[in-house]
Structure 1
Amino acid sequence: MTADDSAEVGAIRVRGWRHAYRGMVPRAYLDGMDVAAEAERQRARLAAGDGSVVNLVAEAADGTLAGWAAYGPYRDGEVRTGDGELYALYLPPERIGQGVGRALMTEVSGRCAAAGLPRMFLWVLKENARARRFYEAAGFTPDGAEEPFEVGGVAVPEVRYVRALAG
């Protein structure tokens, strides 16, 4: 991902949230998400990053972005561990089921394994059955950890998934 991708990534994230989390997070929060503000947040994160977070984009044949993923060191509170973490994986709703998410997940997992990371973690909304099936198909399993994620003043439960990586 480059700074030039920020606008499309911002739109993918906002559309992805509105599609995936409908009925799971407050509607007012989803309706209030702003693509331009999200694009600026993405641009600022890239500019201020220390290189530990990697943002990947999948490009469609027509040159538009078909998906976005971000990963880096696993964060246990404020401490970074020796494991990897998938921070985000979003697609435009019309791209779901076309293999884009699987391709991004394969690339992220492969890069983490090539870096010698023993495991990869991710957090997913507990009620997000579609995403949970996707991650389970990619070899992730819930490890029993659960935490609330505050969205628009509402605590939404997340569950942690883990996958062992082959170096």
Structure 2
Amino acid sequence: MKIRTAGPADADEIVQVKNASWREAYAGIIPDEDLASLPDVPGERFVRSLSSPKPFTLNLVAERGQDVVGWAATGWYREEVGEDEVGPGSPGEVWAIYVHPDFQGRGIGYALMREAHRHLTETGLAPIRLWMLEGNESGSRFYERYGFVADGERSTFEFSGTAYPTVRYTLPKDRLVDELL
């Protein structure tokens, strides 16, 4: 397995990984018909973001052979900091992390998270936060094993006209990447 920076040529495979992961992780949370209607092609905005990444952001893919089997996206914590205000000392966020269900449980998610963590730490973005759909038990177990803590903040995520409750997780500032190796 190899972890590398994603580019626009990876967009189609990233969408397939994300969709398969959503259908697995959110079954029973999001209605099956909504999960079935996920778009199979990447949007122009997403492809542009892979072509010209903004400062402090990083998209990573995990490859097994020639196939993309995982994806992670990181940047600034959008709830508190605007794009024009971000800088070292701003909080960071793992915007997305997905591993295709056929490859879960093999350390791919951990490797992606470690590289996302490393990037955010090196750019000075801390603490690191993420939002997770409430009821995603496998996601909760994964984040907690990595060291994230549910910090009590709650919000909602709107998808297909429905608001779903979300829970925020924070990785303590003193959690160093090197202690994870």
Q: Does residue 1:74 correspond to 2:77, yes or no?
A: yes
8 Å CA contact 1:91–1:101 kept in 2: the answer is yes
Counterpart-to-counterpart distance in 1, 2:44 and 2:136: 27
Counterpart-to-counterpart distance in 2, 1:50 and 1:108: 15
5+ unaligned residues in a row in structure 1: which ranges? Answer: none
Scaled by the length of structure 1, the TM-score of the pair is: 0.90
Counterpart-to-counterpart distance in 1, 2:18 and 2:45: 11
Counterpart in 1 of 2:46?
42
Letter in 2 for 1:160: R
Q: Does residue 1:12 correspond to 2:17, yes or no?
A: yes
Letter in 2 for 1:117: L
Counterpart-to-counterpart distance in 2, 1:35 and 1:101: 22
Counterpart-to-counterpart distance in 1, 2:71 and 2:92: 17
| Secondary structure at 2:169 match in 1 | strand
Q: Does residue 1:33 correspond to 2:41, yes or no?
A: no
Shift of 1:46: 2.4
Aligned-residue identity in percent: 35
Scaled by the length of structure 2, the TM-score of the pair is: 0.83
8 Å CA contact 1:72–1:85 kept in 2: the answer is yes
Correspondent of 2:146 among 138, 147, 150: 138
Calculate the aligned-residue CA RMSD, in Å: 1.9
Letter in 2 for 1:137: R
After superposition, the C-alpha distances for 1:105-136 in whole angstroms (9 at most, x for unaligned) are: 11111121222223100000110011001000
8 Å CA contact 2:71–2:98 kept in 1: the answer is yes
